[in-house]
Amino acid sequence: MRESYETQLAQIDTTLVAMADLVGTAIQNATDALLADDLSMAELVIAGDAEINKLNGDVEEISLLIAALQAPMATDLRLVMGSIRISSSLERMGDLAVHIAKQVRLRYPSPSIPTELSETFRKMGMAASKIVEQTGEVIATRNTGLADEMNKYDDILDNLHRELFTVVLSDDWTHGVEAAIDVTLLSRFYERFGDHAVSVARRIIQIVTGEPYAK
């Protein structure tokens, strides 16, 4: 029975890492699609979200089964319940990558963003890819120090989001209201992506240390 219990706990971790890997691929492909106006790449991101959703369901099922049948003690209970929340955050990160891809599909064959903002969105994509890469590593290693480092990339995304918001509100903006809304929404998707990654890191810290979740 204990061997089965340990196997189930390990399966949760393995599934969460797999989710993080898939989310990393999704946000990279979504950024590539955005910068290149690549419809086929956008469709790939949208179709791939089903696997992330499936793994989220797997984590919930295993976690609830453990909670119901194994009566886990405090540390393991934190792991089980925290894993459900981590999985939910990863699933939402996948959804945000899909939102970016759907924006590309909506505007195709026209560009989704003005050319002069491509570099800013490239930087957002790089920061998003880096933060989800670290998310997977934090899940796999329980490295709370690395969890703290993730704030750096979240700050980059926050700052770029504010920068873009300033640009679209400027008197120098010449692309109209619709483009301003598109840019603001896309920027917000990246900013929220970083927030969910940081949420995962804070859940890991809670699991490892037992300290209350820091919002």
91: amino acid identity, one letter? E
pLDDT for 209: 84
pLDDT for 67: 79
Per DSSP, the residues of 105-128 read: HHHTTS-SS-GGGHHHHHHHHHHH
Domains of the chain, each with CATH number or no CATH = 2-209 (1.20.58.220)
pTM above 0.85, yes or no: yes
CA-to-CA dists, residue 91 to 63, 86, 88, 166, angstroms: 16, 9, 5, 30
Contact between 32 and 38 under an 8 Å Cβ cutoff? The reply is yes
pLDDT for 213: 65
pLDDT for 7: 85
Distance (Å, whole) CA 133 – CA 24: 6
Torsion over CA of 87, 91, 97 and 103, rounded to 10 degrees? -160
pLDDT along the chain (215 residues), means of 10: 72 96 98 98 98 97 83 75 95 98 97 97 98 96 86 96 95 95 97 97 88 66
pLDDT for 79: 85
Contact between 117 and 51 under an 8 Å Cβ cutoff? The reply is no
pLDDT for 68: 78
Distance (Å, whole) CA 135 – CA 123: 18
